[in-house]
Chain A
Amino acid sequence: KAGVTQTPRYLIKTRGQQVTLSCSPISGHRSVSWYQQTPGQGLQFLFEYFSETQRNKGNFPGRFSGRQFSNSRSEMNVSTLELGDSALYLCASSPGPLTGELFFGEGSRLTVL
């Protein structure tokens, strides 16, 4: 069974640009979560989606948005990029809430110049 796939794996943007990151969950998983990982802040929760509905949102500005499609694939978008948005963005999937562990992808490493 294929794991969680995130694309792109690496990308470089400049301040003010926007970026879209994609996540394909494990087949059959309906819940997708996003986390931001930085050396200073650690792992911070961004969003959680289940069956195309946002169930939870972390404490991030409105420049961070996401969505989930009917096939459970998810995207997150960051607009008007700032230097501080440089991070590893991790996507995780699970069959649904309360089913146990999350399965993480390899991440998308964003560098903002």
Chain B
Amino acid sequence: AQSVAQPEDQVNVAEGNPLTVKCTYSVSGNPYLFWYVQYPNRGLQFLLKYITGDNLVKGSYGFEAEFNKSQTSFHLKKPSALVSDSALYFCAVRAVYNTDKLIFGTGTRLQVFP
């Protein structure tokens, strides 16, 4: 069965420093991986996806993610964090081929301090 794991409940980083939010996955077949962000009392916003192609995926708001097949990881990164990046981040994997069903990780709360 498809699954994703986000090993960190919270990540703290100072503004201007690089940030990494970790995600590992377990899939059968080719992985379809996604990152979403959720601000307080809001729905989820799409950041980026990996379906095929380059291992470095660039997304919204300056975020990028690196797909690593050998380590089964899909870590979210940003070179310079902003206070406004503080939010809840979810990694997700498509559960079943040819559907939209996603399996989400437990989420990582990112706190960026001024």
Contacts and interface: CB of A to CB of B under 8 A. Distances in A.
Q: Is the interface of A mostly helix, strand, loop or mixed?
A: strand
A105 B51 contact: no
Interface stretch (A14-22, A42-50, A75-83): A42-50
B98 interface: yes
B100 A97 contact: yes
Nearest to A4: B43
Contact of B44 (A48, A56, A104): A104
A23 to B, nearest CB: 11
Contacts of A35: 104
A55 B44 contact: no
Given A42-B107, A43-B90, A106 B102 contact: no
Contacts, number: 59
A90 B100 CA distance: 14
Nearest to A101: B46
Interface string A86-113: 0000101010011011111111000000
Contacts of A68: none
B103 A45 contact: yes
Contacts of B97: 98
B83 interface: no
A56 B96 contact: yes
Contacts of A101: 34, 46, 49
Interface residues of A, number: 24
A72 interface: no
Contacts of B49: 100-101
A106 B43 contact: yes
Interface in B93-111: 95-107
B43 A90 contact: yes
Nearest to A56: B101
Interface of A: 4, 31, 33, 35, 42-43, 45, 48, 50, 55-56, 90, 92, 94, 97-98, 100-107
Given A43-B107, A98-B97, A101-B34, 18 more contacts: A31-B100, A33-B100, A42-B106, A43-B90, A45-B95, A45-B102, A56-B99, A90-B43, A90-B44, A97-B98, A97-B100, A100-B51, A101-B46, A102-B44, A102-B46, A103-B46, A104-B36, A105-B43
